[in-house]
């Protein structure tokens, strides 16, 4: 298990210099919170009227998270409020916490479940990736249409939050693929249409 001291040293080294973390093998093993995001993939599947809905390679259901009391014991009070679910998953993947220190959000009333639904559900996550990437072409806060790409970004009036990214048709896939590639290397569009 990661100690609070190792976490603070690793975080301070990473924050002060991108090269300082490479100076120590021990520190490089403890960097999942500061690791660069992995390349994410967005897929398309058929929707209504010939349109396509986009979805990410994120989990179809909520994944396990680290219990709040375990995080506070390891890193101090309030830590759970500062971490995103992706931070939990990185630490879990790195083996920082044992199975009995984790929990799985399953109830719709659970705030962790609602957070997953609002931010990490594949359709919502694809929306958020593209919204952030094309923010300079978006005027309003609750949705947008980028006609050159045939892309529509919309937030639906539901609780928990649900947002979608849709393409006008298959002809939009090469357009969005090249537009995304021109703006970033951490996001890729799969050109195959899911059944």
Which CATH number is 44's domain given? 3.30.780
In a shared domain, residues 79 and 96:
yes
| Adjacent-strand bridge partners of 103 | 65
pLDDT value at residue 188: 96
Per the structure, how many domains does the chain have? Answer: 3
Range of the domain at 153: 36-61+121-195
Residue 116 lies in a domain: no
User: Both 152 and 188 in a single domain?
Assistant: yes
Same domain flag for 16 and 78: no
CA within 13 Å, CB half, 139: 2
Say if residue 70 is in the same domain as residue 148. Answer: no
Tell me: do 81 and 148 sit in the same domain: no
Question: Within a domain: residue 114?
Answer: no
Pair 169, 183 in one domain: yes
Q: What is the pTM of this model?
A: 0.74
Q: Write the CA distances from 54 to 39, 152, 157, 175, 188, integer angstroms.
A: 16, 10, 19, 14, 12
Is 110 contained in some domain?
no
Residues 137 and 189 in one domain: yes
Is 109 among the domain residues? no
Q: What's the confidence (pLDDT) of residue 15?
A: 47
Residues 76, 164, single domain; the answer is no
* Per-residue confidence (pLDDT) for residue 160, from 0 to 100: 82
* pLDDT attached to residue 26: 43
145 and 184, same structural domain? yes
> With a cut of 70, which residues of the chain have pLDDT below it?
1-37, 141-142
82 and 156 in a single domain? The answer is no
Q: Which of 85, 84, 81, 63 is nearest to 72 (CA)?
A: 81
Q: Is the same domain home to 44 and 72?
A: no
Is residue 42 included in any domain, yes or no?
A: yes
Token digits of residue 95: 């083996």
The answer to whether residue 137 is domain-embedded is: yes
Integer Cα distance of 91 and 185 in angstroms: 24
Residue 132 and residue 55 share a domain: yes
Neighbours of 29 (CB within 10 A): 14
| DSSP secondary structure string for all residues of 43-101 | EEEE-GGG-EEEEESS-SSPPPEE-HHHHHHHH-TTHHHH--HHHHHHHHHTT-S-GGG
- Quote the CA–CA distance of 172 and 105 in Å, as a whole number: 36
What pLDDT score does 139 carry? 77
In sequence order, the 6+-apart residues with CB closer than 8 A to the CB of 62 are: 104, 105, 106, 112, 113, 116, 117, 120
According to the model, what pLDDT value does residue 80 have? 86
């Amino acid at each position: 298990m990661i100690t609070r001291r190792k976490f603070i040293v690793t975080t301070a080294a990473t924050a002060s210099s991108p090269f300082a973390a490479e100076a120590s093998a021990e520190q490089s093993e403890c960097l999942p919170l500061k690791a660069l995001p992995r390349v994410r993939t967005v897929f398309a599947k058929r929707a209504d009227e010939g349109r396509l809905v986009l979805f990410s390679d994120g989990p179809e259901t909520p994944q396990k998270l680290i219990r709040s009391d375990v995080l506070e014991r390891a890193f101090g009070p309030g830590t759970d409020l500062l971490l995103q679910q992706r931070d939990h998953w990185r630490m879990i993947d790195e083996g920082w916490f044992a199975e009995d220190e984790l929990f799985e959000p399953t109830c719709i009333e659970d705030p962790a479940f609602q957070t997953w639904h609002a931010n990490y559900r594949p359709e919502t996550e694809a929306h958020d990736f593209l919204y952030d990437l094309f923010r300079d072409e978006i005027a309003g806060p609750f949705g947008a249409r980028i006609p050159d790409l045939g892309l529509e970004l919309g937030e639906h009036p539901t609780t928990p939050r649900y947002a979608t990214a849709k393409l006008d048709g298959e002809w939009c896939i090469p357009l969005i693929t090249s537009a995304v590639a021109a703006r970033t290397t951490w996001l890729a569009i799969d050109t195959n249409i899911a059944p």
